[in-house]
Structures are given as C-alpha cells and as structure tokens.
Structure 1
Amino acid sequence: MNEKEWWKKSIVYQIYPRSFMDQNGDGVGDLQGIISKLDYFQELGVNVIWLCPVYQSPMDDGGYDIADYYQIDPMFGTNQDMDQLIEQADARGIKILMDLVVNHTSDEHAWFQEALTDPNSKYRDYYIFRKGIDGQAPNNWRSYFGGSAWEKVPNEENMFYLHAFSKKQPDLNWENPEVREECINMINWWLEKGLGGFRIDAILNLKKRIEYGQLPADGEDGLAFIGHWILNQPGIEEWLAEIDQRTFRKYNALTVAEADVPEDQLSRYIGEDGYFRMIFDFSYTDIDVPETGEWFLQSNWTVKELKENILQNELTTQKFGWGAKYLENHDQPRSINKYLPNEYQNDHSKKMLATLFMMLQGTPFIYQGQEIGMTNIRMDEMSDYDDIATHDQYRRAMLSGMSPEAAFEGMYLRSRDNNRTPMQWSDQKNAGFSGAEQTWIKVNSNYQTINVEAELNDDQSVLAFYQKLIALRRQAGPYQEAIIFGEVVPYEVPQEEIIAYKRSTAEEEVLVIVNFSANHQIVKLDGSYELLIGNQAYQTNLEQIKLVPYGSLVLGKKSEESK
C-alpha cells in the first residue's frame, strides 16, 4: 500500500450530527459537540469521521435537501466551526468526510427559487421541468419516498418538475454543462479546506431516461418505480469520470459511493482508474427489504442467503478493487434488531456481528452507537417518528390492508429513525446527549444500561470488543497484513448457519468463524491456530471446535516458511 491508498488502513466512524452531541443545549447535536468528542474517537481508534449533511437545509429529508452547498446550517453551527473541526481532527490524525448530494437540491435553494420565479432564467434549465399531459404529470413514476415523482409548478398551467425523492428535493439537470461546472467548483472548494473526501449520495440517479404517458404500474397506487429509468443509465460514466479527474484525484480524496453497481461494471467504478475509491454493498444490509421496496413487509431472509450474499460480494469486489463494509448507517435500523431474534439480542451476539463485518476485506464503517450496541427504539405513536420515508411506508402499509398495529410494528423493525436517536453517552439526563428539556427526537429508554460511560469502564463490554477489533486492523502486529489485505477465501463447512472465511497472504492466514444460529455447532479445523479475538473460549491444538450459539472466533496461523 502507498500513501495514495491511505484509506485501506482506515476505520471510518459515521456521525448523524443532529443526534451525536449537543453542545449549546438546544436539543439538537452540533459541530461543537463533535469537536468536544474528538478524544473519544482517538480512544476508540478510528481515524476517519463521516458527517451526514450539515449544509444549510430546511431538513425535509434530514439535511439531504440542501439549500446552500457553501454554508453550514445554523442548527449545527457556523462555517468557522466546520473549519475548526477539520483543523482539530487533522491535528489528531483524523480526516473528515462530508456527504456529497448533487442529484438534487432543496426547493429552497436559490437556483430553484429563481427557476420558479422566472421561467426564462438560465436556472429553469438547472432542473428538470416538463409539460404535463392533459393537466396530469408527464408519466406515472413513483418517487423513492412514495407518491408521484412529479410536482405541479405553482401558478403555471400544465408544468411539472421532477423529484426522485421528496417534492422538496427537485432533481438537478446534469445534461446542462453549467450544472456540472457548479458542482465541480463546489467540490473543489471543500477539498481546498482540507476535507478528506466524500460519501457520495444517490450518485447513480444523475442520468435520466424520461418517458411519457402511463407506464405499467407495479403497485396498488397505480405508479411505477422510478429507479428503472434513472439508475445506471448509459452515459453517466462520462460525468463520473470528469468529476473524479477534476476533483477527487487531484486531492487524493477518499470517495465512497452509494451505488449498486452490476458486476460487469465494477472495474470502471472501483478499479485502479475507477470513478470512486470504494462503493457500499447493499446485498446483505438490505436483505430484509423485499424487491418492491415495501420494507414494512420484511423479506423473510435466511442465514444461507446472508452467507451467500456476503461471500459472493467479497469474491467479486476483491477481483476489481476495494470495498466499504458496514452493518449500520443512517438509512438502516440497528443491526442487532435486524439480524437476530429477540431472545438472542445481547452483548454476546453484538460481538459476533462486529466480528463478522470488521474482518471482511475493505474499509469498515462503524455507525454512531453501534460500538456500544445501541438498539431500535419503541416509539409510542406515529407522530414520534420524524423520518419522511417512515411515514410513507406506514401510509403504504395501511393502503395494502395491513392493520395499524402490524404497520406500526413494521416501523419499529425498519424505520430509519431507529439509528437517528441521540447517542447514549451516560446514564444522565437525555443520555448525556443534551441538557435541553426536550431533544429533537426521543432518546431510547435503555440509555441507563447502554451508554459509553458504563462501557468504557468494562473490559468485557461491546465497546471494549470494538476497540480490540479496531486495534487488530490499525496497530502493527503479526496478522495485520492478512487482516487488511489478505484475500478472502470461503472456508467450507457443511452447516448453512456457519459463516466462515479465511484472509490469506503468502506468510499468514486468519480464519474467521461465526455461528449465526441458536445451536451449538462443531467445526473442523485444518491446522493449529492461535486465538486473536473471540466472544467465546478457544483452546489451541484442537482438530475441531465447538461454537456456542452466536459464537465467533478470529484465529491466526503462520505459514511454515514464515515461522
């Protein structure tokens, strides 16, 4: 590895700023709150922090509706606070990533306001406006958040604008070279400040193939999923290559894209000359979501499918480039609730999940609170949910004939707000997140037992386990090369509930074994290993081992030549 690939030895920690730490006492997290916790990141061992959007925004979609790319929203602080965060993090050897959202802006962005005010201004062509058909939308596309993807323009007859997400997020027109130039200039402006890179949101939606009229509906609402016409469309490659060459590569920036890329295109996206340094894999993190996107239904996935998805992605990605590994993010529920039955959701199984993803090849992304084992939240009523997508899913569940009780349970299982509740720092008021009388969203009631303060003082805690896993990757040691760069080779076992793989180099190999079941399991070994980390006991010089329910082990073995 050379310095151009600094991210391969990195551990990324994702922050949802509204919920991380409130320094000014208004019930909302802020940049000064993040600055106050920089020492915590050093103690944890991470060296990259990714911030969900902190740009000026009306917060219709949690900041992914940007009103000004150059200004920090007053909710989070000032541009000077952002400069301070970059500077103080850099002094600790920590790089900052921001979210890059250029598929759309907020409808409150000056460009869009001008486009509405003056149909003849150049800004009308910054967005996608189309005439309707007999006063109706140009077609029956369904947006990602439900409902029509077209919104009628106020005070104009038969004119609509496109929004792939909420109606307050009009899509930019990337066919317009001025739009592309505006975005490139903005990216470079941030990189000049010393930013380490970007997580890139919804980037594969930039190119649109617009069709008119009634398309075959795929839901009871009479609409058709927009993704078929705006995802991975031919021609997007030219734009992505131009952005990379004119921005990211100039600054040796880390870029991780939210992009579901077909295997035959992977080399163009994450190869040596790829558009991005890595992309996220959705095959196992969205395994609980049906193909229709109606996540209130759940998909009834199996461990066999999970195992196949994880290992297939590893084998595919390592052929072409580098991956980004994660269990949780701001769009997911808590992993312990997603992957495990209620009766087995405990610290033991949380450590198993941590082992599973932290030992894969690629850069691990830890989401705030994941390292202490935070869980989904039980809301009292639908009004407690803030997330726009959650309210859409509830509406669609009710339309499908589901009872209110069953629909509400579906929100508990999969709402994005499960991962957006305040970070649990202590057992004090509001979990130590804020001194305000009321926080912007509810605090999970289990903060008195699950919090950073308690786990920092417990060497058997989930937090302590994460620290050890991070140290295996970041600190020089006998197996670091295999853990970071080793090829992933599936370790064949007869049980479908055992996920096992090796990380191998010429000199050493690491064997990862995870029991994803509530039963004891026997696994044969192909040699004598030493224990690197595990959530259960392990004795060396055994021909086979007995894994406890949800047990996990990371074992190391040197080659004969290197001994």
Structure 2
Amino acid sequence: MTKWWQEEMIYQIYPKSFKDSNGDGIGDINGIREKLPYLKDLGITMLWICPIFKSPMIDNGYDISDYQDINPDFGTLEDLENLIEDSKKVGIKIILDLVVNHSSDDHPWFQEALADPDSKYRDYYIFKKSVDGRPPNNWRSIFGGSVWEKVRSEDMYYLHTFDKRQPDLNFENPELRREIHKMINWWLDRGIAGFRIDSITFIKKDQDYLSLEADGVDGLVTCKHKMRNRPGISEFLHELKQETFNKYDCVTVGEAPGVGYDEFGDYIGEDGYFSMIFDFKYADIDVESGSDWFKRTDWTVKEFRDLIFQSQEAIQKVGWGANFIENHDQPRAISKLIREPQYQNYFGGSALALMYLFLRGTPFLYQGQEIGATNFTRQFIEQFDDISSIDNYYRSMSEGFTKEEALNFVNLRSRDNTRTPMQWDSSRYAGFSTHTPWLETNENYETINVASQENDSESLLSFYRMLISTRNTSEYRDTLIYGDIKPIYDTKAHIISYYREHSTETLQVIVNMSSDETSMEIQPFTSIISNYKGIKNNDGSITLRPYEAMLIKLN
C-alpha cells in the first residue's frame, strides 16, 4: 500500500545559515518564508527544518532548553505558525527535528535535578556515583572525552552521549517518557507534517554500565558498544509510536545509526517504528568511524556503489528509505565523492544528483547542494564553530598526528562545511545577510551562488529542477517513485548503474563516476535525461564521458 510521504521531495534547511531576514547575521524563520517561491520553483514539497527551539546553541540547537518555544534568534511561535500557513498555500509541508535522547543542561528539568538530589527530575537524567573517585566507567562520548561529567559538590556524575552540556534523558523513567509523548503530540496538533528524529538509537543504555577494553590512547572506548541500538530499545520505540505518531497521519524519519540490515524490518517494516530511516553505511565511506575523523579510508567507487546497492536491497525487502548524500553533519558531497578537483563542478554535481535522486525511496536535498556548494578550507582551528570539529582536532593530535594533519582531517570532514551561509548571490556576505554572518561564508561564494545559476538553463540548479520535475510530475513518475530497484553489479568498477522497474516499464540509470572515458554495452533505448549534450550511442554500446550520467528507457 502506498503512502503519501513516498512522493515527497524533501529539502533540509539549517535555519541559522539559510536566510537572515532582520540583519543580525543569523538565519531565521522569516528568512525561510522569504524563500518559499525559490523552494517551490525547485520542486520541493516538504521542508525539514533543523532545530529552532529555545537553546543556548552549544550544539547549534541540538541542545534544547524548552521544547515548546522558539529560540529568539529564529523568531517566535507566531512566525512559525505563519510559515506553516504560507507553506501550505504553495503546497509545501514542514517537518521539525525531534531531539529527545538529550536536552540542554539549561533545561528546567536538569536545573531542578542539579538543585535538588531528591527531586523527581533527578531521575529524568542518568546520574551515577563515582567509582574509586573516578567516572563510573570508561565510555567515550561521540564528541570526545568521557561520557561522564562531575556534578559540582557531589560524589556524582551525569551521563552525556554528546557534549557535556547535553545531558541524556533517562528513558527508563516512564514519567519522563509521558512528558516526551505529550510534547510530541502538542507539536503535531499545531499542523506540522511530522519529524526527523535525532540520534534515536541512543535512548537505551546497557544497564550494567560496565567498562570495556580501551580503543584509544585516552584509555576510553566508544560508547556505541553500550549505548547505541541496544536490546530493549524496541519497548521504548513501540510505545513512542503508539502514544504519538499512530494518532496522526504524519511522517517520521529516523536517524538510526547502528541498525543492522537484519533489523530494518523492526524499524521500517509494516509495523515498524518509523516511516523511513537514513542509512549511514554509504554516507560514512570516507572514514572508518563517523566520530573518528583521523581514521580515513582509501575507498573506491565500487565499494561506494556496493554499499548503496546493499542498502537499497535491504530497504526494499521490508519498507521505505530516505535517500541522501549530504546533511548538516556531513561534508559537502561534491568535495567528498568527486575525487578530481576539475570535476567538482557541474559535471561531478550532476552525476551525483542523477545517481541518487532516482534511487528507490524519498529523496532528501540539503541546502546549497543544488548549486554545487563545496567544502571550505580554513587555516586555523579558531575559525571553526562546530564542537565536534574542535574535539576531533585535539583528539587527532593526541593520537600522534601533527597540527597540519589534524587541521586537514577537520577541513575534510567538518560539519561546518555544510553549515556555512547559503550562497544566494555574489554580493557581500553571499546575499545571506546585510551583517557579518555568525559563521564565515565559503571563500567561493562569488562564483557558486543561486543568482548565477537560476536563469542559466545549463546550470546545476537547472539540472536539479529537471530531475525533480521528472520524478514528481513526468510520465515516468510511477516508475521512479514506486518502481522496484534492481542493482547492476556486473559493470566496470567505476560505473554505478541500476534499473527501476514498474509494470511493463524499465528505466535505467547509468553514471560514470570517474574522469576516464569508458564504454558500456546497452540494450536499445530512448534517452530521457543526460548531463551531456547527446549520448554517444554506438549500436549496442555507449561511450561514457567523464562523470557522464543519464536516465534512459529501455525499448
């Protein structure tokens, strides 16, 4: 049975960096409203807006101090209500980030927990006594350092998966869970279409809280072994769905790292916890671990292709996926996945776009991706805002790398790469603001921006518009949305090709992910889209130029 959200084209907005409407250097809700015509013209049908809740912004909004209020930097609840209404008028729905693994340490619950050890709010979080004057165990947080932070004037520590100012909520407490459910329903009643659910696989912790063998020179071990997708999480997730999402015709997108393919049925099957999930196995191909950036990999196109295909096949067996190559926690795809700098342009960007937009699942597009935004190069660690970048810089040096090597790792992988201000035009501050932005713009904004591409029929932005309209409204939409995917493994190592099949129609995607010209055998076909002018058809085979990508219909 089909679902309405399978047809959506979703655009992720990092509100702090999208558009500043009031000249304070920080993007805001009214800036998003201002750009609704642009988003509508691009073909977007849903916006995922990163956290706009009240927050001290230690982790740029993923540290929430009030779940039912808006951070004044972004506007007011009334501004959000106006955005929801204006978006509906142009056929765009809105989903928000749901961050319930942790709160801010500024949240009144945590402040009460600190102020009164006997308060009920002490059990809303995870507090443990020291062991021989040391932290309760040797688990390392995702952002580096111990997961435990000492409570001042007590022989106690509290647990944080991420930054020390993001204490984890205690899902073992049923009263805490009821508070969370109530808050979620409050938002759904306000007219949003659903949620992207942050770090949800961390809500269950192994209750033995035992140390493990260290995996770094710091004597710590990643907390993922004891805190990510652990036995017993199903009880929390089933309850979450029953008490909230099932009561509404909403969409839920789980950020679910650590979930094996054999568990996908639990997450996105017929009675799964969520509508769809992100699979990070191919997204994190450039590093051995998404949290250890100095552990780089020498990946190949074949490895990347096979990871995508394995993901697609696993998802197709049980449910629906959320396809992406960029987000607020990843570097720019064009810089990460296109090896040759001379093709980190229209050709590389269009090859990636066609490759992933026609996979089976709902596509997610991250702001700036449609114009080919790239990574930056910063000269000093002081230029970074992202706390994960700063932690990785110092941790890299503790692991024996030089300052130069550590800075290179951070430049390649920093979350700030996708958090720089949106590049609207070539004017000062890239048309994002009339004021110095909260984060430096990318140095190439004068050449890579919306204004230079929006009226150019041969630009990457125009190519994205064409791809999106082909998926959303063309005669091929049923095949591109609902058709099965059939990966083609027996191609040359640098070619990514797959079939989309529906009823009697078969479409084929072919992408040359290299700078080499190469040939490929092909059945008789009709061309639908190509990122080059004309296809080199040689009677039974085609010649693919560097980063050539095409969608064809087999005759």
CA distance in 2, matches of 1:76, 1:418: 21
Which has the higher mean CA deviation after the structures are superposed, 539-548 or 520-529?
Answer: 539-548
Answer yes or no: is the 8 Å Cα contact 1:352–1:550 preserved in 2. yes
Opposite residue 362 of structure 1, the aligned amino acid is G
> Structure 1 residue 142 and structure 2 residue 140: aligned?
yes
Counterpart position of 1:240: 237
Counterpart position of 1:161: 158
Counterpart position of 1:256: 253
Question: Structure 1's 116 and 422: CA in aligned 2 closer, same or farther, altered over 3 A?
Answer: same
SS in 1 for 2:285: coil
SS in 2 for 1:553: strand
Answer yes or no: is the 8 Å Cα contact 1:348–1:551 preserved in 2. yes
Q: CA RMSD in A?
A: 1.3
Counterpart position of 1:28: 26
Counterpart position of 2:189: 192
**What is the CA-CA distance between 1:262 and the residue it aligns to?**
1.3
Counterpart position of 2:483: 486
Counterpart position of 1:217: 214
SS in 1 for 2:293: coil
CA distance in 1, matches of 2:177, 2:296: 38
Among candidates 4, 10, 34, match of residue 8 of structure 2: 10
**What is the CA-CA distance between 1:84 and the residue it aligns to?**
0.8
Opposite residue 8 of structure 1, the aligned amino acid is Q
Answer yes or no: is the 8 Å Cα contact 2:498–2:510 preserved in 1. yes
**What is the CA-CA distance between 1:293 and the residue it aligns to?**
3.5
**What is the CA-CA distance between 1:492 and the residue it aligns to?**
4.5
CA distance in 2, matches of 1:546, 1:69: 55
Number of aligned residue pairs: 553
Opposite residue 319 of structure 2, the aligned amino acid is G
Counterpart position of 2:382: 383
Opposite residue 453 of structure 2, the aligned amino acid is E
Answer yes or no: is the 8 Å Cα contact 1:493–1:500 preserved in 2. no
Answer yes or no: is the 8 Å Cα contact 1:534–1:554 preserved in 2. no
**What is the CA-CA distance between 1:453 and the residue it aligns to?**
1.0
Counterpart position of 2:399: 400
Opposite residue 161 of structure 1, the aligned amino acid is Y
SS in 1 for 2:551: strand
Counterpart position of 1:428: 427
**What is the CA-CA distance between 1:214 and the residue it aligns to?**
4.3
Deviations 1:255-290 (A, max 9, x none): 110103212221121112111000001111110111
Question: Structure 1's 450 and 427: CA in aligned 2 closer, same or farther, altered over 3 A?
Answer: same
Opposite residue 301 of structure 1, the aligned amino acid is W
**What is the CA-CA distance between 1:380 and the residue it aligns to?**
2.8
Among candidates 515, 518, 540, match of residue 515 of structure 2: 518
Answer yes or no: is the 8 Å Cα contact 1:500–1:511 preserved in 2. yes
The 5-angstrom pairing of residues 34-183 of structure 1 reads: 34-156=32-154, 158-183=155-180
Counterpart position of 1:416: 415
Deviations 1:281-313 (A, max 9, x none): 111111011148421342111111101101111
Answer yes or no: is the 8 Å Cα contact 1:428–1:448 preserved in 2. yes
After TM superposition, which residue ranges in structure 1, 4 or more long, deviate above 4 angstroms? Answer: none
CA distance in 2, matches of 1:508, 1:121: 63
SS in 1 for 2:287: coil
**What is the CA-CA distance between 1:493 and the residue it aligns to?**
3.7
Answer yes or no: is the 8 Å Cα contact 2:537–2:543 preserved in 1. no
SS in 1 for 2:552: strand
**What is the CA-CA distance between 1:322 and the residue it aligns to?**
0.4
CA distance in 1, matches of 2:211, 2:253: 36
Answer yes or no: is the 8 Å Cα contact 1:479–1:509 preserved in 2. no
Which has the higher mean CA deviation after the structures are superposed, 82-91 or 49-58?
Answer: 82-91
**What is the CA-CA distance between 1:249 and the residue it aligns to?**
2.2
CA distance in 1, matches of 2:537, 2:513: 22
Opposite residue 135 of structure 1, the aligned amino acid is G
Question: Structure 1's 66 and 286: CA in aligned 2 closer, same or farther, altered over 3 A?
Answer: same
SS in 1 for 2:152: coil
CA distance in 2, matches of 1:394, 1:195: 38
Counterpart position of 1:285: 283
Among candidates 510, 525, 529, match of residue 528 of structure 1: 525
The 5-angstrom pairing of residues 493-508 of structure 1 reads: 493-508=490-505
**What is the CA-CA distance between 1:245 and the residue it aligns to?**
1.9
**What is the CA-CA distance between 1:491 and the residue it aligns to?**
2.6
Identity of matched residues, %: 50
SS in 1 for 2:389: helix
Opposite residue 543 of structure 1, the aligned amino acid is G
Deviations 1:509-530 (A, max 9, x none): 1100011111111110123333
Answer yes or no: is the 8 Å Cα contact 2:63–2:103 preserved in 1. yes
SS in 1 for 2:405: helix
Deviations 1:501-551 (A, max 9, x none): 000112211100011111111110123333334345226683110000111
Q: So what's the TM-score if we normalise by structure 2?
A: 0.98
**What is the CA-CA distance between 1:213 and the residue it aligns to?**
5.6
The 5-angstrom pairing of residues 285-304 of structure 1 reads: 285-291=283-289, 293-304=291-302
Structure 1: where are the runs of 5+ without partners? 559-563
CA distance in 2, matches of 1:374, 1:419: 8
Deviations 1:155-194 (A, max 9, x none): 11x2010001110000000010011000000000000010
Counterpart position of 1:561: none
Counterpart position of 1:544: 541
CA distance in 2, matches of 1:42, 1:291: 37
Deviations 1:392-423 (A, max 9, x none): 10001111221111211111111000000000
